[in-house]
A and B are shown apart, each in its own frame.
Chain A
Amino acid sequence: QKEVEQDPGPLSVPEGAIVSLNCTYSNSAFQYFMWYRQYSRKGPELLMYTYSSGNKEDGRFTAQVDKSSKYISLFIRDSQPSDSATYLCAFSGGYQKVTFGTGTKLQVIP
């Protein structure tokens, strides 16, 4: 079983749609849960970060963590063409080694 599983997509949605991106993980030692956004030909940038189960909201973005199911999600409300990017889930056990998902490519159509 892979340590992190993420659907690579691509995911294509119309502008204004709600987007749901998901990852599952198998390592119980993970305690930090992150989402990075990577635009084409750019470095990943941190979008959301959490360390507890439940929801964390930041503007149009909501990160959800379910530690019992080892499942994390990122929701994007009112998606915009500028949200078109690859979204990487990331996990850490707190020892500076971050494990990334393979990324989901999202395209928001105007």
Chain B
Amino acid sequence: DTAVSQTPKYLVTQMGNDKSIKCEQNLGHDTMYWYKQDSKKFLKIMFSYNNKELIINETVPNRFSPKSPDKAHLNLHINSLELGDSAVYFCASSQPPGTSGYTDTQYFGPGTRLTVL
């Protein structure tokens, strides 16, 4: 049973287009994240939501807009795609602080490989 799932797995699109990536977790976690991993494998946090509320918003262009319809889902919409947006985007989830056994460890989805042409 998949814990953190993302769709689509691959996304190839033209510069200037708008696209969305969807994420769902069935771990019962309250917190979800979006990470970007570039070609050098550097994994950088973009956003974090705790129970549908935005709690971390790193320096990310306004073209990126996360949306959390409920605590099990976190989507990422990207407007006016640029060449530099090409990367692998990972969704992750974790328990929130204060939860029994809290460890700040994160569970990652399989990633969405975005290629902007």
**Contacts from A to B (Cβ < 8 Å):** 8, 32, 34, 38, 41-46, 49, 51, 86, 88, 92, 94-98, 100, 102-103, 105
> Closest Cβ of chain B: how far from A101's Cβ, in Å?
9
Contact in complex: B110, A96 (CB < 8 Å): no
Top 5 closest pairs, chain A to chain B, by CB: A43-B108, A92-B104, A100-B43, A103-B41, A32-B104
Residue of B nearest to A97 (CB): B56
In the bound complex, what is the Cα–Cα distance between A86 and B110 (angstroms)? Answer: 15
Contact among B40, B56, B103, B110 with A42 in the assembled complex (CB-CB below 8 Å)? B110
- Which residues of chain B are within 8 angstroms of A45 by Cβ–Cβ distance? 108
Q: Mark B86-117, 1 if CB is under 8 A from A, else 0.
A: 00001010101100000111111111010000
Contact among A8, A96, A105 with B31 in the assembled complex (CB-CB below 8 Å)? A96
In the bound complex, what is the Cα–Cα distance between A45 and B31 (angstroms)? Answer: 17
Contact among A43, A49, A88, A97 with B105 in the assembled complex (CB-CB below 8 Å)? A49
Complex A-B: 6 CB contacts under 8 Å: A32-B103, A45-B108, A96-B50, A96-B55, A100-B43, A102-B42
Residue of A nearest to B110 (CB): A43
- Residue count of chain B within 8 Å CB distance of chain A: 27
Contact in complex: B31, A102 (CB < 8 Å): no
- Which residues of chain A are within 8 angstroms of B96 by Cβ–Cβ distance? 96
Residue of B nearest to A31 (CB): B104
Contact in complex: A46, B105 (CB < 8 Å): yes
Contact in complex: A86, B41 (CB < 8 Å): yes
- Which residues of chain B are within 8 angstroms of A51 by Cβ–Cβ distance? 103
- Which residues of chain A are within 8 angstroms of B48 by Cβ–Cβ distance? 96-97
Contact in complex: A102, B107 (CB < 8 Å): no
Residue of B nearest to A44 (CB): B108
Q: With A96-B48, A96-B56, A96-B94 given, is the CB distance from A102 to B110 under 8 Å? A: no
In the bound complex, what is the Cα–Cα distance between A43 and B108 (angstroms)? Answer: 6
Contact in complex: A94, B105 (CB < 8 Å): no
Most chain B C-beta atoms within 10 Å of own C-beta, residue among A44, A92, A102:
A44
- Which residues of chain B are within 8 angstroms of A96 by Cβ–Cβ distance? 31, 48, 50, 55-56, 94, 96-97, 104
